[in-house]
Structure 1
Amino acid sequence: MNHSCVNCLKTLVINLNFLCWLCGAFVVAFGEFQMMNSKYASLVTSFWPIFPANTVVVTGTIVTCVCYVGVLGGMKENRCMLISFFILMFILMLVELAMACVFLVYSREINTYFEKDLMQSLEIYRESSPEGNKTIKDDFDAVQHLFRCCGVHGVADWKGNVPISCCIKNPCNALIHNNWQEGCLLKLRNWFSRNYLSTGAGVVTMFIIQFVCLCITIPVFCHLMRRGLGYK
């Protein structure tokens, strides 16, 4: 392999890893934004580790660290860094594939846990004192107000003790007021589905960039090994 081809591949390795690093940093920032603005964390707890926000934060953090090693390895022409980057990136890609399979296989079970946790949160809300379980109450009120829904399956879930957050329009403090009739379960499921779809598209895009990075890293590493370079 001539010197110009090696320089071209080295430049590609550095640029692609830097692009991957930027994508990872953006994913972390997006996940943090979702976590700060989500209003359901206390309502659905059975599958907390696979919330879209948590997933993208963890994945993005690992990607930024691994790609940083790849950028340094390409710039310094260091075989140790390049082989470490290759191994770590390969393991990360296997984990991403495994996570995708888990989401596909257990999607129905996730919906079951979703309904059970929401019903449990609603019961806690109903049976709590006015000053008790403020976090669950605030999150449930925020969800009902944001999604314009009431209860889990409908307004009947509240058994006559309907909170103000179900009110359609002012004045909501009147003795008799109109409430949203549709339950929050279906709307929250649709919202989660859209989030998983966007998260999946981002992971697929990042997976393609990672795969290209691995393919280009191999010839650069082989060239440095043949020349005896990369340990200085």
Structure 2
Amino acid sequence: MNRSCVTFLKRWMVFLHLLCWTSGAFIQAFGIFGMFKSQYGSIINTFKPHYASNCLIVTGAIVCCVCYLGILGSLRENHCMLISFYIVLFLLMLVELAMACIFLVVGREIDKYFEADFRHALDVYIQSTPTGNQTLKDEFHSIQARFDCCGVDGPLDWNGTLPISCCKLDPCNVFPIISWEEGCLGKLKAWFEMNFLSLGAGVVSIAILQTLCIVMSCPIMCNFRMTGRGYK
């Protein structure tokens, strides 16, 4: 193998490791996206998906740092650094896949969590004092205004005391309030399910990309080591 081939393969390895670094940045982005999408914690509190999002953010940050080890190992032709990089990245990939499974499972099992939590939150809202449980009330109003819906199954859930967020008119200056007829339960389920499935699929895709980078890099490194050219 002549020196030009060695140089080309070395640059190709640096590019693959840089691609792994980019994947770490995407993992962080998915985690941050999940944090923003894990809203309404006062209403839906049976599960805490933001824990998985936090783990993705931390894992993505570690991947970015570890990938510098791979890039530096490629540039300095250091086998020890490269092997350490592959081992640590493999362990982090397992964490990523575990988090992706959590998002995918939550997305498919979402019906088990939502209805009881949502109905309980409505009962708490109705029984609260005018100044009590303000966070829960704000989240309920946000859901109804965002998804153009009213109550859990419909406006009858409010027992005749419709909040302003149920109103279809803008501005809402008509009494009695003309409300949305559709309940929020189905719309909120669909919204959460879509976001969790998207997060899970995105993280799995990034893990596959990282695997391809490792698979393509290892034979090159092994070839250099066997021939004694380029990497020492």
TM range (shorter): 0.7 to 0.9
Give me the whole-angstrom Cα distance separating, in 2, the residues matched to 1:122 and 1:68. 50
Q: Does 1:154 align with 2:179?
A: no
Amino acid at match of 1:172: C
How far is the alpha carbon of 1:189 from its aligned partner? 1.7
Aligned to 1:215: 215
Aligned to 2:142: 142
Amino acid at match of 1:61: A
**Could you state the TM-score of these two structures normalised by the residue count of structure 1?**
0.81
Structure 1 spans left out of the alignment, 5+ residues: none
Structure 2 contact 23–209 (Cα < 8 Å) conserved: no
Q: Deviations over 1:130-185 (max 9, x none)?
A: 22222111111111101111122222222223211111114535441111121112
The correspondence of residues 4-83 of structure 1 with structure 2, limited to 5 A, is 4-29=4-29, 31-32=31-32, 35-36=35-36, 39-49=39-49, 54=54, 56-83=56-83
Structure 1 contact 56–199 (Cα < 8 Å) conserved: no
Q: Deviations over 1:11-35 (max 9, x none)?
A: 2222122233234324424543563
Comparing 46-55 and 21-30, the one that deviates more:
46-55
Give me the whole-angstrom Cα distance separating, in 1, the residues matched to 2:151 and 2:221. 59
**Could you state the TM-score of these two structures normalised by the residue count of structure 2?**
0.81
Aligned to 1:166: 166
Q: Number of matched residues?
A: 231
Give every structure 1 segment of 4 or more consecutive aligned residues whose post-TM-superposition deviation is greater than 6 Å. Answer: 228-231
Give me the whole-angstrom Cα distance separating, in 1, the residues matched to 2:100 and 2:29. 21
Structure 2 spans left out of the alignment, 5+ residues: none
Q: Does 1:91 align with 2:87?
A: no
Amino acid at match of 2:72: L
Aligned to 2:124: 124
Structure 1 contact 164–172 (Cα < 8 Å) conserved: yes
Amino acid at match of 2:46: S
